[in-house]
Amino acid sequence: ERPEEESHFLLILGPPGGGKGTISKKMLKDFSSFHHVSTGDLLRQHVRQRTALGIKAKGYMDSGELVPDNLMIDLVMEDATPYLEAGQSLLLDGFPRTIEQAMALEKVTHIDVVVNLDVPTDTIVERLADRWIHPASGRVYSYSYNPPKVVGKDDITGEDLVQRDDDKPEAIRKRLESYANITAPLVKYYEDKGLAKTFSGTKSDIIYPQVKKFLESTHFFS
Residues making up the binding site for GTP: 17-22, 131, 140-141, 204
Choosing from 20, 58, 127, 174, the catalytic residue is 20
The answer to whether 139 is a known catalytic residue is no
Q: Which is nearer to ligand AP5, 60 or 83 (CB)?
A: 60
Is residue 187 exposed (0-12), middle (13-18) or buried (19+ Cβ within 10 Å)?
A: middle
Choosing from 58, 127, 131, 174, the catalytic residue is 131
Residue nearest to ligand AP5 (CB): 40
* DSSP state at residue 113: E
| In the complex, minimum distance from the CB of residue 34 to ligand AP5, in angstroms, rounded to a whole number | 16
b/e map of 92-113 (b: 16 or more CB within 10 Å)? bbbbbbbeebbebbeebbebbb
Distance in angstroms (rounded) separating the CA atoms of residues 109 and 48: 30
In sequence order, the β-bridge partners of residue 115 are: 12, 197
The answer to whether 97 is a known catalytic residue is yes
Helix (H) or strand (E) holding 217: helix 204-217
Total number of residues shown for the chain: 222
Footprint of ligand AP5 on this chain (CB under 6 A)?
Answer: 14, 16-22, 39-40, 43, 60-61, 64-67, 72, 94-95, 97, 101, 127, 131, 140, 142, 144-146, 166, 175, 203-205
The answer to whether 20 is a known catalytic residue is yes
Q: Kindly report each contact of residues 180-184 with a partner whose C-beta sits within 8 Å and lies 24 or more positions away, as own/partner.
A: 182/66, 182/97, 182/98, 183/13, 183/97, 183/98, 184/15
Q: Which is nearer to ligand AP5, 4 or 74 (CB)?
A: 74
Q: Which is nearer to ligand AP5, 7 or 38 (CB)?
A: 38
Residue ranges of the annotated binding site are 17-22, 39, 44, 65-67, 94-97, 101, 131, 140-141, 164, 175, 204
The answer to whether 175 is a known catalytic residue is yes
Q: Which is nearer to ligand AP5, 40 or 54 (CB)?
A: 40
Active site residues per annotation: 20, 97, 131, 164, 175
